[in-house]
């Protein structure tokens, strides 16, 4: 008997301990984590993040946004380094996107938000309105108006939706939940040019792709663009609930005193964990190593799965990797788990890998070996 709403499909094991890139269940079995808890514990269960949390818990773990927070300042300074951004802290990806939608509307004085079919931006009303998937909205009544959905990687479809009320275009640079689909480079650059020329704000949802996941701190750095607004969450504090919105300084007057807020936003435990996470991500050569691990992991996967008729494609960016398959996803996930490997799914036909950025060569070999066995055993 459960006292919880049954809005998740939970596997019947519980992780009770974690160390590095391994999870331990209540029976004492160890699992190599190729999911990072859905792209959250990007550094694995890192001893220095743990130490930062414990140190902060000994000092003070909450202080309202009525008082100064040098920790928020430090995290913001690290996040915006090299850019003309200011930061706002909240508690989740959906909240970060809510803030982005509100800022875009208030700063532009317009209401229209164009996002993309098959996108995912979260479960609150604003974030859900931006999400281009009907199944997420069923049963929740009238959604927000002035949202429309272009075709991913198709600039003409964006132009066709633009009108005098268009405030912003919002997108993921790798669509995560719907199947690990990276945006085309030319499309993104043309879209950024088009938005700039037409004074439409460009919002990039980096909730999943940010914080080094793709081999750069932000995935937009691969595309040689600078969005007007960026949203972050998942990996930002390596497992402590947090969200952030970064926006260009020129938008600052729209988010003036009293316009928006969050009681928990920028919580001390979250900020202590985020600061240490950023320190780790910014150690010299860290991102180059992530890119190297990505090349190794993708190369090994290609070799191991080559010729397997159930594997249709391997794609991704950095350590955000999708294996498109004709086989049953839940069978694949369960088989991998029985063999001690945790993987995710995306869309209807993709096994999604979001391994910790700290994964070792030995862990790459082990994970790939397991996936090879799994794909050989399924129909």
CB-based burial label for 102 (10 Å; 0-12, 13-18, 19+): middle
- Ligand-binding annotation for 207, yes or no, is yes
Contact flag: residue 344 with ligand PLP (CB under 6 A): no
Rounded to a whole number of angstroms, the minimum distance from the CB of residue 134 to ligand PLP is: 17
Q: Given strand 22-25, what is the order of strands in its sheet?
A: 15-19, 22-25, 30-33, 341-342
SS (HEC) of 281-332: HCCCCHHHHHHHHHHHHHHHHHHHHCCCCCEEEEEEECCEEEEEECCCHHHH
Rounded to a whole number of angstroms, the distance between the first and last alpha carbons of the chain is 34
| Cβ proximity to ligand PLP, 33 vs 172, nearer residue | 172
Q: Is 98 in the site for ligand PLP (CB under 6 A)?
A: no
In the complex, what is the shortest distance from the CB of residue 144 to ligand PLP, in angstroms, rounded to a whole number?
16
Closer to ligand PLP by CB, 308 or 345: give it. 345
Among 21, 35, 42, 92, binds ligand PLP (CB under 6 A): 92
Q: Which of residues 226-245 bind ligand PLP (CB under 6 A)?
A: 233-234
Q: What is the CA radius of gyration of the chain?
A: 21
118 is in an annotated binding site: no
Residues that bind ligand PLP (rule: CB under 6 A) add up to a total of 15
From candidates 33, 98, 172, 228, binder to ligand PLP by CB under 6 A: 172
Pair 2, 12: CB distance under 8 Å: no
**122 near ligand PLP (CB under 6 A):** yes
Q: Residue 141: exposed, middle, or buried by beta-carbon count in 10 A (0-12, 13-18, 19+)? A: exposed
Q: How far is the CB of 96 from ligand PLP (least distance, A)?
A: 8
Is 213 one of the binding residues for ligand PLP (CB under 6 A)?
no
Dihedral pair phi/psi, residue 302, rounded to 5°: -60, -45
Binding part of the chain for ligand PLP, among 22-30, 41-49, 154-162, 204-212 by CB under 6 A, reads: 204-212
Beta bridge partners of 18: 23
Q: What would the two tokens of residue 74 be? A: 């430090």
What residues have CB less than 8 Å from 60, skipping those under 6 apart? 268
Stretch in the footprint of ligand PLP (CB under 6 A) among 116-124, 136-144, 339-347, 355-363: 116-124
From edge to edge, which strands make up the β-sheet containing 344-346?
A: 311-317, 320-325, 350-353, 344-346
CA 265 to chain centre: 18
Residue 116 touches ligand PLP, criterion: CB under 6 A: no
Pick the piece of the chain touching ligand PLP (CB under 6 A) from 91-99, 184-192, 216-224, 278-286.
91-99
CA neighbor of 85 nearest in space, from 205, 250, 214 = 250
Tokens 């959906």 appear where?
A: 94
The answer to the question of whether 50 is labelled as a binding residue is no
Burial class for 161, CB neighbours closer than 10 Å (0-12, 13-18, 19+) = middle
Does 45 interact with ligand PLP (rule: CB under 6 A)? no
Q: Which stretch binds ligand PLP (CB under 6 A): 6-14, 86-94, 101-109, 278-286?
A: 86-94
Asked if 176 is part of the footprint of ligand PLP (rule: CB under 6 A), the reply reads yes
CB of 377 to ligand PLP, least distance (A): 30
Q: Is 207 an interacting residue with respect to ligand PLP (CB under 6 A)? A: yes
Q: What are φ and ψ of residue 274, in 5° steps?
A: -65, -40
Question: Minimal CB distance to ligand PLP: which residue?
Answer: 93
- Residues at the interface with ligand PLP (CB under 6 A): 92-94, 97, 120-122, 172, 176-177, 205, 207-208, 233-234
Binding-site residues for pyridoxal 5'-phosphate, please?
Answer: 93-94, 120, 205-208, 263
């Amino acid at each position: 008997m459960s006292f919880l709403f049954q809005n998740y499909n939970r596997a019947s094991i519980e992780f009770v301990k974690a160390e590095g890139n391994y999870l331990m269940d209540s029976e004492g079995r160890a699992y190599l984590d190729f999911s990072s808890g859905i792209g959250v514990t990007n550094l694995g269960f890192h001893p220095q993040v743990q130490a930062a949390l414990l140190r902060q818990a000994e000092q003070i773990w909450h202080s309202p946004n009525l008082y100064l927070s040098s920790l928020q300042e430090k995290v913001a300074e690290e996040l915006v380094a090299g850019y003309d951004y200011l930061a706002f802290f909240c508690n989740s990806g959906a909240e970060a996107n809510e803030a982005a939608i509100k800022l875009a509307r208030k700063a532009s004085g317009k209401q229209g938000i164009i996002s993309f079919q098959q996108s995912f931006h979260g479960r609150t009303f604003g974030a859900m309105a931006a999400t281009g998937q009907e199944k997420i909205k069923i049963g929740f009544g009238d959604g927000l108006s002035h949202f429309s959905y272009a075709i991913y990687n198709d600039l003409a479809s964006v132009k066709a939706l633009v009108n005098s009320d268009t405030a912003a275009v919002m997108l993921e640079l790798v669509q995560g939940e719907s199947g690990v689909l990276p945006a085309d480079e030319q499309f993104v650059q043309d879209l950024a040019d088009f938005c700039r020329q037409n004074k439409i704000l460009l919002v990039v949802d980096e909730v999943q792709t940010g914080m080094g996941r793709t081999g750069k701190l932000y995935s937009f750095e691969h595309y040689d663009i600078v969005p007007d607004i960026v949203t972050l969450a998942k990996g930002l504090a390596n497992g402590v609930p947090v969200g952030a919105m970064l926006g260009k300084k020129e938008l600052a007057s729209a988010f003036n005193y009293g316009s928006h807020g969050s009681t928990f936003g920028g919580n001390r435990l979250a900020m202590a964990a985020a600061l240490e996470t950023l320190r780790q991500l910014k150690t010299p050569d860290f991102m180059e190593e992530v890119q190297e691990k990505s090349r190794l992991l993708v190369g090994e996967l290609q070799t191991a799965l080559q010729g397997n008729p159930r594997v249709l494609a391997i794609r991704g960016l950095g350590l955000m990797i999708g294996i498109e398959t004709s086989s049953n996803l839940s069978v694949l996930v369960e088989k991998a788990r029985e063999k001690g490997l945790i993987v995710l799914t995306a869309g209807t036909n993709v096994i999604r890998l979001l391994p910790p950025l700290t994964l070792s060569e030995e862990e790459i070999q082990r994970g790939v070996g397991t996936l090879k066995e799994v794909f050989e055993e399924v129909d």
